[in-house]
Amino acid sequence: MYNVIYACNDAYAKLAGISIISLLKNNPDSMFRVFLMSDKVCAENIGKLKSIENDFSNLSEIVFVDSEVIVSDIKNYVKGYDNSTDALSGGGYTAYTRLFFEKFVPDDAERIVYIDCDTLVAGNITELFSFDMGGNPVAMSYDCTNAKYKRVINMPNDSPYFNSGVLVLDTKKWKEGECLRLILEEIHKGVSYPFVDQDFLNICLRGKIAKYSFRYNFCSAFFLYKSAGAVSFIFGLKNFLPNKDDYRLSAKNPAILHFNGNTFTRPWFKNSVHPMKKLYDSYYFASPWKDEEQKDFKMPSVYKLQYILWKFTPRFFFYLASRILQDIFFKIYYKI
């Protein structure tokens, strides 16, 4: 049996449910146990989530874990992060709760996969439960955040920066390495990082993170850039170039789609122009939330410009413009 973790507040409960449904539909021959860390999820959404158990024979159970106590503790130390219940936000303090998985997952769960709610599982993911992690406590995929960002959080330039949307966790190595303690010590310093828990993972576990294929965390921004070379050129990420074949193959057959950021507008919004909008809607309108009307999202101006350039200009011009916009953003926002 494969163990999977999700974490959500009430605003993200619907997204968690849709992702769980896609996981089960696209892995029909595998049995799953889902741990759902819930932060003030309403009774109606709890009922809809529980109904998923009745629809899939490959779901042993959804174990609901009340994370309110953890969230209350995190609030005392983490500054400047909104715990909004609006689905436009990133889920607030709830995002941290996954780091406490060792406190509720049973000992028989030797390897666990955490999946963000803003995802769609589009293929078989069982490889994540068996690939060689090289003795590391966690595995993640490369993020396409600009290389300059590492200066913002005081990471060495030659250190890879990872995206935490899908975490593969070796419970034994995690406990042996006291990973939670290392992260809590950093949190208790009261330092605020822009990408919050993702930054804590990268900073505290640097050198202890294994890499898996882009296929299992294919981010929205990757749809903008046709090659690893383009990502390297725009964001200054040299670590993408040795993985150009994996990037190319993953784009053809992604197993987990991660709708992070406002690129294209996320597909659960009515006015989304995301390339995977139609696919997402096929799950949305077959879910227990099918009668909830999708809302419009006001796309920020910079993302409107990004979409126009991507849609209507030659590739090289778009890549060059993207690189220039990245430089301008970091000079204005981070002063670097």
> How many degrees, rounded to 5, is the angle at CA 273 between CA 270 and CA 275?
120
Token digits of residue 196: 């919050």
Distance CA 210, CA 42 (A): 36
pLDDT per residue, tens digit, the chain (336 aa), is: 999 999 999 999 999 999 999 999 999 999 999 999 999 999 999 999 999 999 999 999 999 999 887 877 777 766 544 444 443 334 467 888 899 999 899 989 999 999 999 999 999 999 999 999 999 999 999 999 999 999 999 999 999 999 999 999 999 999 999 999 999 999 888 777 889 899 999 999 999 999 999 999 999 999 999 999 999 999 999 999 999 999 999 999 999 999 998 899 999 999 999 999 999 999 999 999 999 999 999 999 999 999 999 999 999 999 999 999 999 999 999 999
Distance CA 137, CA 172 (A): 8
Question: What sign for the dihedral angle of Cα 145, 149, 153, 157?
Answer: positive
Strand 162-170 with 138-142, pairing = antiparallel
Per-residue pLDDT at 309: 96
User: Please, what is the angle between helix 13-25 and helix 43-55, to 10°?
Assistant: 0
Task: Say if residues 112 and 5 touch (Cβ distance below 8 Å).
Answer: yes
Cα within 13 Å of Cα(276), Cβ side: 30
Task: Say if residues 49 and 36 touch (Cβ distance below 8 Å).
Answer: yes
Distance CA 220, CA 213 (A): 15
Distance CA 86, CA 136 (A): 35
Distance CA 213, CA 57 (A): 29
Per-residue pLDDT at 75: 73
pTM over 0.75: yes
Per-residue pLDDT at 56: 97
The one-letter code for the residue type at 18 is I
Token digits of residue 93: 């303090």
Per-residue pLDDT at 79: 57
Per-residue pLDDT at 189: 85
Token digits of residue 180: 């939670």
Task: Say if residues 38 and 46 touch (Cβ distance below 8 Å).
Answer: yes
Per-residue pLDDT at 188: 84
